Amino acid sequence: MAEIEEMLQTEIILQTPVYDMTGVQVDTVDLDPYIFGIEPNLAVMHQALRRQLANARRGTHETQERAEVQASTRKVWRQKGTGRARQGSRRAPHWKGGAVVFGPHSRSYRQDMPRKMRRLAVRSALSLKWDEGQVVLLHELSLDEIRTKAMVGLLERFGLDGVKTLLVLPDRDERVQLSARNIPGLKTLLAPYLNVVDLLDYDVVMMPLTSLEVVGQILGKPEA
């Protein structure tokens, strides 16, 4: 049964238009169904999302217990004869500057997840994006100079001005990255760092064909 499903999956043709930077279609490309044509595994996506958010937590919160509070160990006043309640230490929680009861302490929120599951989550998110028509492919992406106006014009030509857009680059490109960093709702991300949080957070994924090749090398079907 699994072999039949695999054969059916490989026969799927995901033909997608490729545009130049002026917004004109110049070609078409067949996407890898192993990456863009699978049935999204929502459970794995949810687990990967929670893992990434948990691993981003610093966990540096800390409160002092009674043994850690710097205060005198002398009894506040004598046990009897004052007419006041018994008090043993200024480190007690009800005193100002005293300890905290059941307070948080430093800890690690790190969660582990197998590599195959992490990649399945990213492939599921990409398949979901493609199925909803939220993947835009460019033949190439290059700028002659650092110019925010040029990047804004690129988004406007594709009707993406004001739309949260994830721009996936094959490697570092200072001109593109610096031109895009001040545009609200636009984020540049290197293809090797593609992740579930960004794919779900942004409405549209835009990438040149060179980025698509990097994604295919990382997430493509392993050779038997």
Task: Output the tens digit of pLDDT for each of the chain's 224 residues.
Answer: 455 455 544 456 789 999 999 999 999 999 999 999 999 999 999 999 999 999 999 999 999 998 889 988 889 999 999 999 999 999 999 999 899 999 999 999 999 999 999 999 999 999 999 999 999 999 999 999 999 999 999 999 999 999 999 999 999 999 999 999 999 999 999 999 999 999 999 999 999 999 999 999 999 988 76
Can you give the CATH number for the domain in which 166 is found? Answer: 3.40.1370.10
84 and 121 in a single domain? The answer is: no
The phi and psi torsions of 209 (rounded to 5 degrees) equal -65, -30
115 and 211 in a single domain? The answer is: yes
How far the first Cα of the chain sits from its last, in Å, is: 18
User: What is the extent of the structural domain holding 20?
Assistant: 2-57+111-219
193 and 213 in a single domain? The answer is: yes
Residue 224 lies in a domain: no
pTM here? 0.82
33 and 141 in a single domain? The answer is: yes
pLDDT of residue 222: 83
CA distance 59 to 68: 19
22 and 102 in a single domain? The answer is: no
139 and 198 in a single domain? The answer is: yes
Q: How many domains does the chain have?
A: 2
84 and 163 in a single domain? The answer is: no
3-class SS string, 63-93 = CCCCCCCCCCCCCCCCCCCCCCCCCCCCCCC
Residue 94 lies in a domain: yes
What's the burial of 199, exposed, middle or buried (CB within 10 Å: 0-12/13-18/19+)?
A: buried
